[in-house]
Amino acid sequence: MSTSRRDPDEALILALRGTLSPDGPHDGAGPADGARSASERLAVRAEREGLADILYAPVDTPFGSMLAASTERGLVRLAFPEEPVDSFLQALASRLSPRILRAPGSSLDEVRRELDEYFAGRRREFALDLDWSLIGPFGRRVLRATVEIPYGGHLSYSEVAAEAGSPRGSRAAGNALGSNPIPIVIPCHRVLRTGGALGGYGGGLDRKRWLLELEGASV
């Protein structure tokens, strides 16, 4: 294995290594435990020092475990359970910033609390700050109009398009609603076809129906 010949390179490597002398035995917690808890503490420090541009965490809901992501501006993304973590993170990294960390402890508790209350029927409006940076200019107009639809109410695609300033843009409005990065909180489930048919929903029509029933909408 190790060379016994007096290779000058080896001698220098030994000299360099000789300047480094670890303390004592390495027993105690295994590497996996040490590394895991150290990386959790890292997230705390990164958050404190403002080095994490995006923090994300799973949020339990009646639909299953959803993923929420926040920036310093506010909630930027909420993903349904079927979205894989990797693609959720990759999309945020390429569109906003790669400095994404799993939120330590309680940092997304406000999001959890408001969603819990909403799903329990105890909250009719979200007070969360939102970060709109994943939404383009037309999408912003459409989704801002959507936020104004009251709990239990609904508008049609063409009504929302009109609110957004493009009365003929109901198809474009449908696309903007379909790519809503913060469903539920931006209540795109409250937009229906003229006449009351459900239309589409990024999280599936069963969930759209479920949310409308939760809100007691007369559909």
Token duo for residue 13:
């490597």
Q: Residues 188, 192, 211, 212: which is the catalytic one? A: 188
Give the strand pairing for 100-102 and 75-79: unpaired
- Taking 3-state DSSP, the helix, strand and coil percentages for the chain, each rounded to the nearest 5, stand at 40, 15, 45
Question: Which one, 2 or 218, has the nearer CB to another protein?
Answer: 2
Sheet with 75-79: strands ordered across: 75-79, 64-70, 54-61, 100-102
| Shortest Å, Cβ 100 to another protein | 4
Least distance from another protein to the Cβ atom of residue 217, Å: 37
50 binds another protein (CB under 8 A): no
Q: Where are the beta strands (DSSP E) in 124-201?
A: 155-156, 191-192
Indicate which single residue of 3, 5, 6, 28 sits in contact with another protein (rule: CB under 8 A). Answer: 28
Clarify whether 188 is annotated catalytic: yes
Please pick, from the candidates 58, 93, 162, 200, the single residue that binds another protein as defined by CB under 8 A. 93
Using alpha carbons only, give the angle 211, 145, 184 rounded to the nearest 5 degrees. 25
Contacts to another protein by CB under 8 A: 8-9, 11-13, 15-17, 19-20, 22-24, 26, 28, 31-32, 34-36, 38-39, 41-42, 45-46, 49, 51-52, 56, 86-87, 89-90, 92-94, 97-102
